[in-house]
Amino acid sequence: MAKAARHRGPDWSGNYIANSTNTGAQPLFNEDGSLVLAVNGEIYNHRVLRKQLKTPYNFKTHSDCEVIIPLYEEHDVDTPKLLDGMFSWTLYDRKQDRLIAARDPIGITSFYQGWSSETPGAVYFASELKCLFPVCDKIVAFPPGHIYDSKTGKTTRYYQPSWWDGTKVPSTPLDYRLIRETLEKSVRKRLMAEVPYGVLLSGGLDSSLVAAIAQRETVRLRNAAEKQNSKLQNGTEGLVGIDDSNELSTVEWFPQLHSFSIGLPGAPDTEAAKEVAAFLGTKHHAFTFTIQEGLDALSDVIYHLESYDVTTIRASTPMFLLSRKIKAMGVKMVLSGEGSDEIFGGYLYFHAAPNKAAFHEETVRRVKNLHLSDCLRANKSTAAWGVEARVPFLDKQFLDLALSIDPTEKLITSTRIEKYILRKAFDTSSDPTLPAYLPDKILWRQKEQFSDGVGYGWIDALKDQAAIQISDSLLATPKPEWGNEELPATKEAYWYRCMFDEHFPPSCAGTVERWVPTWSKQTDPSGRAVEIHNARYEEGKE
């Protein structure tokens, strides 16, 4: 079971068995061995948490996740409320024969829970389905923002932000500067890294903003390091890095920032990414893939994704191919732009929202389902090659800010392009004292879904191949084991479901959520299917 997830952390693995518990992964222990932690993720505020502990704790490692153990000793089931980061973990309390499991608020890291009819009373946890289905006949996606306690057998929600309900329309006034500063802080804390890192740069707004902020921070730290390293020669100072108050400290050296893109030859996103990289001064790597390479990778992609959702597979395939190339270069962590479209209503179908209340409710729904779509894609496409993806837009502070803004400000109108307020927050053209974050044509570039932006020929090829693989009669004949669930409506969807079935039993299908459009009759999730895709925003910037 543990071996099935070996690709996620090829540098470190182990297991621990005691009493009625069996955990696979790297176990971290407290002093007397009574608490054992298996964890996947990053805790960005771990230094602050260490300083706030009431009782001194003898840390055995420099791992940011080890702080979960003393936090549990002091705060019990309230521990995940204190964590700022992305995580899935199980903690075994040997003295109480008690197991605690928790997942980060949005579900950035994947996490599953399973049960077996052959071992009643046993409960299983893993980062991926493939670890559990050989043993478990019931598996669910562990809900984000929740904690499980074996003492009660209950799973309860610990993450309770004011926006969670979605039916209460927020009214906080818009503050462009606060949006900009909060996102900058989010990117800054995610540069806490002890491994070579880079940024995924599609050339779209979201990844470009993340890259722009990361590059500014990298340059700032490098310049500070050069000044401070002159003192290093005298043995008085160390290298610089980031701590949780965003001040300089002796943590890590930040080299030149590397950026990565992928697409079919001549893809719209690839050209835009090159332009952004040149503007920012990153060391850019523009990779290409062929349609055949993409088609050949589909089965492996579905195996790693553990999904048959059309949108997710279309976008994950190039990301999967790119992650393999990134891993080969020795890079182990990348920043990515997931979450922005959900938070700000950036998908083009949002133009059809009937009112601000419906707009806000849909953004909340999309954010709450990210663990079944874009977060799943980002996490598993990269983890397939031992690469870690971090997503600044899904920072708790940024989420609370962005989802509390009056949604009137987010509405797409004839004079306001999608994600207008995010673009405007980083538009410094009116202030000559502030350097530009991005070229104007990139900052105000219309949304291009990743699966479209890598080259329109990619989606066309998938549809053409599906038409070859799936006949009309086959499409009209769903498999009996699919039962009464929502059945594939297109040949492409049918094809993916068949490939999913080759890897996973029917018991795994319930963890998959398929994309469903709102305020639209379109059945294809491609951004091109939305008529407004080709509309020109003559007054986009007001």
Residue 498, C-beta contacts closer than 8 angstroms, at least 6 positions apart: 470
Q: Any binding-site annotation on 372? A: no
4 CB-near residues (< 8 Å, 6+ apart): 126, 128, 130, 131
The tokens describing 4, both together, are: 């099935």
To the question of whether residue 421 is assigned a binding role by annotation, the answer is no
pLDDT, tens digit (0-9, with 9 covering 90-100), for 273-293: 999 999 999 999 999 999 999
State how far the alpha carbon of 73 is from the alpha carbons of 76, 78, 137, 483, in Å: 6, 10, 34, 46
Pairing of strands 388-390, 333-335: parallel
Amino acid at the residue 157 = R
The CATH superfamily assigned to 3-157 is: Aminohydrolase, N-terminal nucleophile (Ntn) domain (3.60.20.10)
pLDDT, one tens digit per residue, over 390-404 is 999 999 999 999 999
- Return the structure tokens found at 164: 């969670």
Q: Flag whether 108 is marked binding.
A: no
pTM: 0.91
Element housing 28 (H / E): strand 27-29
Q: How far apart are CA 535 and CA 542, in angstroms?
A: 16
Q: In whole angstroms, what is the distance from residue 405 CA to residue 389 CA?
A: 27
Give tens-digit pLDDT for 132-183: 999 999 999 999 999 999 999 999 999 999 999 999 999 999 999 999 999 9
Give mean pLDDT, residues 218-239.
67
Give residue 485's identity as a one-letter amino acid code: E
The answer to the question of whether 205 is labelled as a binding residue is no
- Token output for 264: 């079919």
Within the chain, all domains assigned CATH 3.40.50.620 are found at 176-534
Exposure string over 413-433, b if 16+ CB within 10 A, otherwise e: eeebbbbbbbbbbbbeeeeee
Cα–Cα dist 180/424, whole Å:
9
Topology of the domain comprising 176-534: Rossmann fold (3.40.50)
Give 506-530 pLDDT, tens digit per residue. 999 999 988 777 887 766 655 554 5
More confident residue, 425 or 3: 425
CA 60, 65, 67, 70 torsion-angle sign: negative
Distances (CA, A) of 38 to 2, 29, 142, 165, 488: 12, 9, 16, 31, 37
| CA 68 to chain CA mean position, Å | 21
Task: Give CA–CA dist 455/461, Å, rounded.
Answer: 10
37 is in an annotated binding site: no
Where does the chain hold its CATH 3.60.20.10 domain(s)? 3-157
